Structures are given as structure tokens and as C-alpha cells.
Chain A
């Protein structure tokens, strides 16, 4: 009962004029950014970060949550209407959504995608609301070794998700962790890898790295790919999708939602992995599996439900353990930390109102998504006429301002631009950038938890396996690692990466944007 009362209080806060206003603005920004090919919701969140400085922490999280939820769906609008996925997670929407548009059923396809996404997202937000508090209570029993083990699990699962190219993913992850060691060390206060640069002593902020990798590199790539965003009028809008027809897709949505919720909680997985797996499972489960790819309703509903079902679930490890599992949740972590709030189990007792306002905002965001997406879909052709050069120019200025505003220090801008160059090269060569970002975020946490564990337990390195919870988590991490490396150990190491280009996931990707 207490949870319901707290949720009602949170709902009251979320419905206050300012919070509701920023949620709606966030939804619109996210949906528009998601719908524009080449600009992902992660880019939008990174660019929105400087705006959150002038907001209260709850409002900042509401704003970013709105962008996240809206952006994850937004990509499907362009997938369905013009066969160009706005975000990599929307790629499966091209496979059955666009054929429906070609048949003159674009309105129906959009409504199926929207209904499925809203249901998946709402279920995930419910899981976040009612699953997080018990998990946070359990996490209160954690000491430093358990937090270290959980961080290691997060790092290892990034490798496990990128099963096709584990070694390159590990290189990227280790490089990210190495970048994070720049600056003064947490125990002895000695400067590392500073090369005599005074500004480097304060370290490299992960927000700056993220903005550089995901915004600057992407914008330059977008300009050079000469992508024409103007839509072709393929067909009429056609008939819609009635509520009475929902039973046709109900099991597809249910299966995909459950899958998305599970995948969302795994650090490093993200929406793309969930959408692609959901499509594959539905193809096997559906009676019309052989017709998939020709405009089958279940083939569109399943990946849509799965990708939005990752949104709330991905926030569980962030809020309960302070461990972000994706680039989007890492930006949320940055927003919290900029306001002096450290997420973790204690947050659930020290700032319950804020936590439940975030939950309520996520629930509301998934309901509001329907209205926001319909509005964006209607204005889509006008939106797509915005020249990419103009969009790119604004994104770069926002990125530079975003990097500068982290510490009001121009050193961060240069680091951001350096990361922009690195991000561009990584994108063109197919070197995965998401593990690097997660390495920059999780690396310092792992080091701090490792060293404080040793300091607290007389430098006993076996403490991590002697304690039951940390031992179990590390055992799971070992299994994950072996599972990822098994093909290589068997000598059947595949030559190429999987090609899942998700800025929000750890999976490696091919150069260029995914196009249907």
C-alpha cells in the first residue's frame, strides 16, 4: 500500500505544471530526434544535458525520461513511412512496417507500432515502479565487494552481448576504462596520464566523452553521407487499426514486452538487441512466420513492444545500484550527478519523493507518447525538409556548449572534439564505441569499489569470492564471459561483427547508418 501512496504523491508531482510541461517538451524533442535519421535519442539526450542545469533534479530526470521514451519510439516513424530507420533499434520496423506502407496501410502500421510501443513501455515503467523498491532494499545489504562484483557483471555483460566480436569489444571497453584513469587517483591523490597538463588532473568526464562520440562524430558522418531526408510519397495513409483488432497482435506484444523487460535490465544490451531478438522469436512463434517481411502485423508489433519495454527496465540498475547499463541511462546518471545526487539503494530512503516522481513520469511518458507520436507523424514530411546542414550546425553548437557546461572549462571542449574525431573514425571502421563509453563510466566505479573493498578487508583479495552475494555475482560474470568467448575458444570465431548499430547498446556495428 505504501508504494501506491508514494506513487500517487509522485503522480501529483509529475502532473505539476512545470514537470508536466518539461515531460511533454521532452517527449516531443525525443520523438522528433528519433524520427530524424542520423540523430538518435542518445544524441538528443546528450544535447539536452546543458538545459537540465537550470532545472530541479526531478524536473531534469523527467525531461530526459521524456526524450528517452519518445526517442525510442520516434525512430519507427521514419522506418515505417520512408524505410529509413530513425534509430538503429527501429530497423526491424522497416521489415514489416514499410511493406505495409507500400500496400497503402501506413496509418495502420503507425497505429500498430504506437499501440505496441506504448504497451511495452508502460509495462516496463510498471516493472520499474514496483520492481525497483524491493531490489533497492536488497541492495542495501550490499557492501563494497558486492558493488564491485555488480560493476564487473555490468562490464562483462557488455562483452557477452557483443558475442560476435568479443575481442574488439574488450579492446574498446578496456580503452574506455583506461581513459577514465586520467586524472588524480581515488586513494592516493596521484595524477595519472596527465602528461603535465594541469587541466587533465581533474580527470575526463564521461559526459564529455559521450557527447563527442555520439554527437560530433555522428553529425560529421551525416553531412558526408549526403543523406536525403525528404520523404517519398509512397502511398495513401489507408485504413487504421481498431481496438477490436488488438487480439491479433496481443500475444506478440505480450511475448515481446516480457523479453524487452528482461533484456532492458542487462547492462549493455539496449533497445536494438531487444527489437531484433523479439522479431526473430515472433517469426518462430507466429503462425504467419513465413510471411514475415511482407507487412505482417505481428512482425511489426513484436519489435516495437520489445524496444520500448527496455526503457523502464534499463533504469532499474541505474536507480538501485547507480550502475547505468546504456548510453541513455548514463546521461541520466550524469544529470543526477550534476545536481549532486548519487543514485543507489540509499536514494530510495533519502529522496523517496523524487524517485516516485521519476516512476510516475515514466508511466505518464508512455501514455503521452501516443499523442506526441501522432503529432510528429502528421508533421513528419515538413520535419524531414529541414536541411541536414542546418540541423548539424545546431547540434554541434549544442554539443560544444554541453561539453563546456559540465565544468565551465574549455579543456572539456577539446576532449569532446578529440572524442568526436575518434567517434567518427570508430563509426567508419565499425569499431564499437558503446563499450568504450561504458568503460569510461563503469571503470572508475570498479576501481573505487575494488580499492575500498581491499582497504576495508585488510587487502584480502579473496574477499570478493568469500562473500556469498559478491561470489555469486562474480560466478555469473564468469559464465557470461565464457559464453561470450566460447565460439572463439572452439575455433569458430566469426569473421564479422553482427552489424547491430545501436548507440544505446554495446553491440558492435558496421560503418554508416543502417538502411532498410
Chain B
């Protein structure tokens, strides 16, 4: 049976070549307009050259992986997981990434202060820090610190949210003396 990591090492450059091929036809939204430019060093020249560069390097990479596999299959397929990999929680990483994406989405929907307060608490809990009072304090004081630094001092136009959340954000700013 083929080791998944060996498969991934060969599949990655090949998948990239496929992507490069697909991208080469999508440089412009309107390719006809680009064709009207007579200059041989037009807007397509540089990205096309780069696509060729990535494609050739990926082909060399794939060849090298094949060569390594043929030369020393045992070396190409590590027999066991490294020790630190056993302690590593990959699932948590993807959950963490999802939380960050949700946080970014929520900033636009419910406003920066509420989203940040919720995010700080969620991330602390996700990271294994589970002392309720301290977590709440981190969320509250952290959000206040960010608001003072970026809204009051740096005058950054951060999202206030929609509907009722906009009202809550404005009320929070007034309470903190920012608005």
C-alpha cells in the first residue's frame, strides 16, 4: 500500500502543474481586450513567464520525488511518526482556523467589540485556558484595550455591525468615552 505522505509528496507538484495550466487561461477576465494590445511585452508577458517558471519547477520537483522514491523507497516513506507529531493536535488547528474565519465574518455582522470579546473567550477556551473569571477578564479588558488603541487613538473605522448590533456598539463606545 502506498504511504499517504509519499503520495502527497508526488501529488503536490503534479496538482500544482494542473492548477498552473488552468490559471494560464484565466489571466484576464476579458482576454479579447488583452489581445488587442500589440506589444510583445504586454500585460500577459510577466504572469505567463511566471506560470512557466512555476510549471517547470514543479515538474522538476515531481521528477526529483520520483527519483528519490526509486532510489531509496524506505527513505522516502518514514516508518513512524516523529515524536512531536504524536503530541500535535491537527484537528485543533483546523478548528482554530475555522474560529478565526468565523471571527472575521462576525466582525462585519455584529461589530468589532462584540466579535472580539467573543473571540478572545473562545480562543482561550480552545487553547485549554479554562479559568472562567480570568477568561472573562481577558475578554473584557482585552476588548477595551483594543478599542482604546485602535478606535480612540488610531481612529480606525472598524465595523460596528448591523441593526441592533450597531446600536450596542455605539452604546459601548459611549460608555467607554470613545464616541
Contact: B104 with A413, CB < 8 Å?
A: yes
A175 on interface, CB distance cutoff 8 Å:
yes
Residues 35-73 of B contacting A (Cβ, < 8 Å): 37, 39-44, 46-47, 50-51, 53-54, 57-58, 60-61, 64, 68, 72
Cβ distance A226 to chain B, nearest Cβ, rounded Å: 6
Q: Which residues of A contact B119 (CB under 8 A)?
A: 393, 396-397
* Nearest residue, chain A, Cβ from B124: A389
Once the chains are docked, how many angstroms separate the CA of A187 from the CA of B33? 14
Contact: B104 with A400, CB < 8 Å?
A: yes
Once the chains are docked, how many angstroms separate the CA of A223 from the CA of B46? 40
Residues 56-95 of B contacting A (Cβ, < 8 Å): 57-58, 60-61, 64, 68, 72, 75, 84, 87-90, 92-93
Interface of B is mostly: helix
Contact: A193 with B47, CB < 8 Å?
A: yes
Cβ distance B89 to chain A, nearest Cβ, rounded Å: 5
Of the residues B37, B101, B123, contact of A393 by C-beta under 8 Å: B123
Contact: A174 with B54, CB < 8 Å?
A: yes
B157 on interface, CB distance cutoff 8 Å:
yes
Of the residues B57, B87, B107, contact of A170 by C-beta under 8 Å: B57
- Stretch of A279-287, A322-330, A404-412 that contacts chain B: A404-412
Once the chains are docked, how many angstroms separate the CA of A406 from the CA of B150? 13
Of the residues B57, B72, B96, contact of A223 by C-beta under 8 Å: B96
- Stretch of A26-34, A130-138, A306-314, A447-455 that contacts chain B: A447-455
A243 on interface, CB distance cutoff 8 Å:
no
Contact: B154 with A50, CB < 8 Å?
A: yes
Once the chains are docked, how many angstroms separate the CA of A181 from the CA of B107? 29
Of the residues B43, B57, B120, B156, contact of A174 by C-beta under 8 Å: B57
A190 with B96, Cβ < 8 A, contacts A225-B87, A393-B120 known: no
Q: Which residues of A contact B61 (CB under 8 A)?
A: 167-168, 171
Contact: B90 with A224, CB < 8 Å?
A: yes
A414 on interface, CB distance cutoff 8 Å:
yes
A196 on interface, CB distance cutoff 8 Å:
yes
Query: Using an 8 Å CB-CB cutoff, how does the interface string of A157-188 with B read, 1 for contact, 0 for none?
Result: 00000000001101100110110010001011
Which of A51, A53, A192, A454 has most B Cβ within 10 Å?
A192
A347 on interface, CB distance cutoff 8 Å:
no
Q: Which residues of A contact B60 (CB under 8 A)?
A: 167
Contact: A224 with B142, CB < 8 Å?
A: no
Contact: A195 with B57, CB < 8 Å?
A: no
Interface size on B, residues (CB 8 A): 66
Q: Which residues of B contact A317 (CB under 8 A)?
A: none
A114 on interface, CB distance cutoff 8 Å:
no
A451 with B23, Cβ < 8 A, contacts A170-B53, A400-B104, A417-B100 known: no
A194 on interface, CB distance cutoff 8 Å:
yes
Query: Using an 8 Å CB-CB cutoff, how does the interface string of A219-237 with B read, 1 for contact, 0 for none?
Result: 0110111100000000000
A392 on interface, CB distance cutoff 8 Å:
yes
Of the residues A171, A185, A226, A414, contact of B54 by C-beta under 8 Å: A171
A248 on interface, CB distance cutoff 8 Å:
no
Contact: A187 with B27, CB < 8 Å?
A: no
Of the residues B13, B92, B103, B127, contact of A388 by C-beta under 8 Å: B127
Once the chains are docked, how many angstroms separate the CA of A438 from the CA of B119? 32
Q: Which residues of B contact A195 (CB under 8 A)?
A: 26, 29
Q: Which residues of B contact A370 (CB under 8 A)?
A: none
Contact: B142 with A394, CB < 8 Å?
A: yes
Cβ distance A180 to chain B, nearest Cβ, rounded Å: 9
Once the chains are docked, how many angstroms separate the CA of A495 from the CA of B13? 16
Residues 131-175 of B contacting A (Cβ, < 8 Å): 138, 142, 146, 149-150, 153-154, 156-159
Q: Which residues of A contact B123 (CB under 8 A)?
A: 389, 392-393, 396
Cβ distance B170 to chain A, nearest Cβ, rounded Å: 19
Cβ distance B10 to chain A, nearest Cβ, rounded Å: 13
Contact: B87 with A226, CB < 8 Å?
A: yes
Contact: B47 with A192, CB < 8 Å?
A: yes
